Amino acid sequence: MATPAPITTAGPAPSGGWRPARLEQRESRTTTGRTLRFSVPGWPGHLPGQHVDVRLTADDGYQAVRSYSLAAPADGDTVELGVQATTGGEVSPYLAEELPVGARVEMKGPLGGWFVWDGTFDGPLLLAAGGSGVVPLMAILRARRRVRSDAPCTLLYSVRTPDDVWYADELAAAPPFLSVRILHTRQAPPGSARTAGRITSADLDALPAPPGSRCYVCGPTGFVEHTSDLLLAAGHPADLIRTERYG
Amino acid sequence: MTDFSPGFRGRTHAFEGRLPPGQYPTESFPVLSAGPTPHLATDRWTFTVTDGTGGSRSWNWDEMMALPQEHPTVDIHCVTRWSKFDTRWQGVSLDVLLDGVDTTAGFVVAESYDGYTTNLPLADVTGGKAWVAHSFDGFALSPEHGGPARLLVPHLYFWKSAKWVKGVRLTVRNEPGFWEAAGYHDYGDPWREQRTWSD
């Protein structure tokens, strides 16, 4: 394993690192997936792939904290998060549906120094996303787009059905350096050449991911375990595979 | 009274007194690791204690299973904020594995088969506080949770409980491990919310 980049903690952070964050915009990405754009005065910036903690406080003082991935590269005081509402969840349904635009929560971060792309690695990238695991990879893709580089980048994106694709329009208009391959596990679109099912070694063989690609794998545990096993079997070395698992 | 998160009510948690600050209880067993899961065969597995002066002792899998076994039931707390209560493990106490080691070391570095490391004070892995655990809930520990064997140090955040553990190395000086060098807290007490360098 290589040495991770230290977590950046630039700028004085008030009261234990918690900053007020005002919800500016909420956008539906799927039926249950949302991106939330906040303004966070004094935000110190972040690296693509990092996450933040969000803290909610009830009237009786009860507090709940959860982690959410940053969906976009650093942009002044603007912070964009991806939230997948989980049925019966304590925090995600509130953020996805109830928190009013203009209201505030508290935010701490950025957090995480390993599952990041800081631009110093300018070789080819293979990004593998399962479901809402696409969110931190989107931050990497968007940052990658700002950099002048010929290195290829591949996004392998596993979703249950065509309706579960986040960022469909943005991905459809992919820039030349990026190849996007969407795999459907439950229901493929009509006329699809590939039968619905989870990712296989044949799916990996079909990718334009040259040897020496750095791999970022993010999604539910089962997806990450399975995909990183396939990557290892396909000859990608373990020290070039970085993983982030959701519950 | 606060003007944050209007309308948020939250749930009443049934684990008062057992939930460290900033944590929430989970029924599932989430997985957190930085890279792919190694798949290790027990017939090629060894655990090694290195005393810092060149001496070492090792156990293979059968020898580890032949040592006195303990069955701790403990609460565990992950820095990603989930806590899980009454988890049932089986393993060998570090007290057994470190018994008789002659050392002036004050620290240990736990080392894993995938290259992961984490540092702990020696006092935190002795006195019935740490195990090499190989079973969870009555079954062999699965690879994604650190099997065949992981460190179990439940009183500290769970990144200290190194998965796929290969051994412990006693050190005189404190040597920050993988996450500790990446911004996580050096000690990691969940009750004092020691998550990162700034806590």
DSSP B49-97: EE-SSS-EEEEEHHHHHHSPPB--EEEEE-TTSEEEEEEEEEEEEHHHH
- Could you tell me what percent of chain A has a pLDDT over 90? 75
pLDDT tier for residue A131 given thresholds of 50, 70 and 90:
very high
CA pair distance B66, A121, nearest whole angstrom? 47
- Could you tell me what percent of chain A has a pLDDT over 70? 94
**Tell me: the pLDDT tens digits for A194-203?**
999 999 999 9
Pick the residue of A19, A62, A118, A126 with the most B CBs within 10 A to test the interface with B by mutation. A62
CATH architecture of residue range(s) A125-246: 3-Layer(aba) Sandwich (3.40)
Contacts of A58 in chain B (CB under 8 A): 5, 8-10
Q: Is B80 on the interface with A (CB under 8 A)?
A: yes
**Tell me: the pLDDT tens digits for A64-123?**
999 999 999 999 999 999 999 988 889 999 999 999 999 999 999 999 889 999 888 889
Nearest to B182 among A17, A100, A113 (CB): A113
**Tell me: the pLDDT tens digits for B161-191?**
999 999 999 999 999 999 999 889 999 999 9
DSSP A8-25: P--S--SGGG-EEEEEEE
Report whether pLDDT(B12) > 80: no
Amino acid at A2: A
Q: Is B3 on the interface with A (CB under 8 A)?
A: yes
pLDDT tier for residue A16 given thresholds of 50, 70 and 90:
confident
**Segment B119-145 mean pLDDT:** 97
Report whether pLDDT(B130) > 70: yes
Closest-CA residue in chain A for B32? A245
ipTM of the complex: 0.76
Q: Class for domain A17-111, per CATH?
A: mainly beta
**Segment A199-219 mean pLDDT:** 92
CA B44 to each of CA A7, B47, B62: distance values in angstroms, whole numbers, following the listed order: 36, 10, 11
Q: Residue A180's pLDDT is what?
A: 95
**Tell me: the pLDDT tens digits for A25-56?**
999 999 999 999 999 999 999 999 999 999 99
Residue ranges per structural domain of chain A? 17-111, 125-246
B183 and A6: CB-CB below 8 Å?
yes
pLDDT tier for residue A149 given thresholds of 50, 70 and 90:
confident
Nearest to A245 among B11, B31, B199 (CB): B31
Q: Residue A25's pLDDT is what?
A: 98
Q: Is A242 exposed, middle or buried (0-12, 13-18, 19+ CB in 10 A)?
A: buried
Q: Give first-to-last CA distance, chain B, whole Å.
A: 25
Contacts of A65 in chain B (CB under 8 A): 22, 24, 81
**Tell me: the pLDDT tens digits for B134-167?**
999 999 999 999 999 999 999 999 999 999 999 9
Q: Class for domain B42-192, per CATH?
A: alpha beta
- Could you tell me what percent of chain B has a pLDDT over 90? 79
**Segment A131-151 mean pLDDT:** 91
